[in-house]
Structure 1
């Protein structure tokens, strides 16, 4: 019989904050680059095309003595039944015995680690003096991507929000985002008051909605795309020299957020080469013959280690294709399990 911990979303929110997640995700990228962590083949299955599907991302982190998986299901008709459309579950196991260490709700972890990737991309690939941040997409991931980028970059003065389907949604998001950011930084208020007040200053900037994506792109220093789009929302000719783009939305075959022509002259970085070309933003440009795996400058872990050169000049256009890898989930979940054990959070169960 083995004992493991079960954590729901409330439990996870009580012990997790963005600064730690960003450090953990960087560690995951570095472990991968150092070959002390690896991915297993991704599994995808459609129960009913366009209605219900699932995917499994899995891997191992030898450095942390764990392996595991995240299973995410999408059932599009669930909201009409009062059930979330997307449900994620993370399983962490001991690499030396194969016994389970914990089962965790995956939604909040996914939002945090996906958002963290956006900030990490900006940290290593954007110009340090960047002031204008454009968020394309105003869904669940956007607040987390904004927070991580504000944590990573010290000179952001304005955040512009664009929603391809509805200006009103972008406006509603813009009006409410500061309250959401206050909520996300609140864990620091008691644990690290001085850092909390630093963050308060960072979020006291301008947030505006736009329906002019061309102008917003032309003005942006950093662009984060976080949509389910299957057509390019950002055109090549709009992107100015020196811009950095972190692409978060493409995580399934056929998705595309930016013009494939950008891949002919930008410096391209990925979280995992194979996964990016299979389901990421790199897929469509590759299929259209715009670039190949040999044209990828480096995986982000190599850049963090200093083994891969990121931005070479202030005029470079850089793209980070962040498909989201299982190592991000596993390292974050393992961190949560350790804190939960110390604070006696969650429920213990036996198999």
Structure 2
């Protein structure tokens, strides 16, 4: 009675690319700011603190005639069992009728849209002449957020990678990340000029950071993507003009940067309520360092209604907690492509 398309991870990856995802994430932010999209309350459960958790993010995109949800889990010990740390499922439904449109693996969508958010944040808040990109964290998200940032900042000359738990993991990451980026660039091989330009951008030094204080002081752009519950960057290390995108905080108690950095920075978020409840912004708000009226949603900057960076000296923070609208709009795009080329399986309920 209700046919819908089912896509496994391979089919999702075949129909998704980073350049398109950058545009999709921007559109999701824009629709939200235009009041053509609504977020529903997030559901979160921790199976074992710091080891395994799950959350359900859901919403309605009236501007795209869809609603749905993403259920994603993180099991930190899975890689030792030859399983991915992140496992997710996305369901998309028609908001005019309620009928299911598709269900698909959510891991690739999560990695791609989260990485794309870092690129969008860099596009609107980092200095255009930024040369040094620092990645704090070297997990599965690493290649995605680095590639997205390199796609939007053409003058980056080197990438530094810091893993707060393991220098060895950072070294392994630096040895393999270019190969992963090349894999993500495969969809553009038919567009020779763009492909060659992106190969040029990733063919720069990727180096392990041993002195995080010095690296932070010299970095122009910093992406944090860890499960940390203690600040990894201190306020006194930050220099004028730095942009920071925080990707790791997505539940209460997580924290990657010193809350006092917020006091003298321009603050941007994907969703104010979610950022204050579970994002990097949570701790500064609870400690009275930040008030809600100091936060600007990125959608209003994209639409030109609010200012982003206004001087080369500004310190900017983008708290990217990850919203369901990104997942659903990305999934809807994948389903359209899959229907064109016959990917996946059509099921019925």
Bin the TM-score by the shorter chain: over 0.9
Point out the more displaced range, 181-190 or 235-244: 181-190
> For the residues of structure 2 that align with 1:129 and 1:323, how far apart are their CA atoms?
26
Alignment of 1:212-291 (within 5 A): 212-291=211-290
Q: Residue 81 of structure 1: CA displacement?
A: 5.5
Q: CA offsets, 1:65-85, max 9 Å, x none?
A: 000000112345655655444
- Pair 1:139–1:215, CA change in 2 (3 A): same
- Pair 1:79–1:115, CA change in 2 (3 A): closer
For the residue of structure 2 that corresponds to 1:233, the secondary structure is coil
For the residue of structure 2 that corresponds to 1:208, the secondary structure is strand
Q: Normalising by structure 1, report the TM-score.
A: 0.97
- Pair 1:146–1:51, CA change in 2 (3 A): closer
Alignment of 1:12-91 (within 5 A): 12-47=12-47, 49=49, 52-75=52-75, 82-91=82-91
Contact 1:38/1:61 (8 A) holds in 2: yes
Q: Residue 154 of structure 1: CA displacement?
A: 1.1
Point out the more displaced range, 60-69 or 37-46: 37-46
Q: Residue 53 of structure 1: CA displacement?
A: 3.3
For the residue of structure 2 that corresponds to 1:234, the secondary structure is coil
> For the residues of structure 2 that align with 1:31 and 1:259, how far apart are their CA atoms?
32
Q: Residue 237 of structure 1: CA displacement?
A: 0.6
The corresponding residue for 2:323 is 325
Q: Residue 50 of structure 1: CA displacement?
A: 5.0
Structure 1: tracts of 5 or more residues without a match: none
Q: Residue 205 of structure 1: CA displacement?
A: 1.1
Contact 1:92/1:334 (8 A) holds in 2: yes
Point out the more displaced range, 271-280 or 7-16: 7-16
Q: Please point out which of 303, 306, 309 is paired with 1:308.
A: 306
Residue 185 (structure 1) aligned with residue 185 (structure 2): yes
The corresponding residue for 1:128 is 128
> For the residues of structure 1 that align with 2:25 and 2:106, how far apart are their CA atoms?
15
Q: Residue 16 of structure 1: CA displacement?
A: 1.0
- Pair 1:63–1:47, CA change in 2 (3 A): same
- Pair 1:48–1:259, CA change in 2 (3 A): closer
Q: Residue 193 of structure 1: CA displacement?
A: 2.2
> For the residues of structure 2 that align with 1:243 and 1:58, how far apart are their CA atoms?
33
Q: Normalising by structure 2, report the TM-score.
A: 0.97
Structure 2: tracts of 5 or more residues without a match: none
Aligned residues: 349
CA RMSD, 1 decimal: 1.3
- Pair 1:47–1:116, CA change in 2 (3 A): same
Contact 1:163/1:211 (8 A) holds in 2: no
> For the residues of structure 2 that align with 1:150 and 1:231, how far apart are their CA atoms?
28
> For the residues of structure 2 that align with 1:95 and 1:295, how far apart are their CA atoms?
34
> For the residues of structure 1 that align with 2:274 and 2:252, how far apart are their CA atoms?
10
> For the residues of structure 2 that align with 1:7 and 1:58, how far apart are their CA atoms?
19
> For the residues of structure 1 that align with 2:313 and 2:206, how far apart are their CA atoms?
26
The corresponding residue for 2:140 is 140
> For the residues of structure 2 that align with 1:237 and 1:47, how far apart are their CA atoms?
36
Alignment of 1:145-224 (within 5 A): 145-190=145-190, 192-224=191-223
- Pair 1:168–1:133, CA change in 2 (3 A): same
For the residue of structure 1 that corresponds to 2:6, the secondary structure is strand
- Pair 1:157–1:48, CA change in 2 (3 A): closer
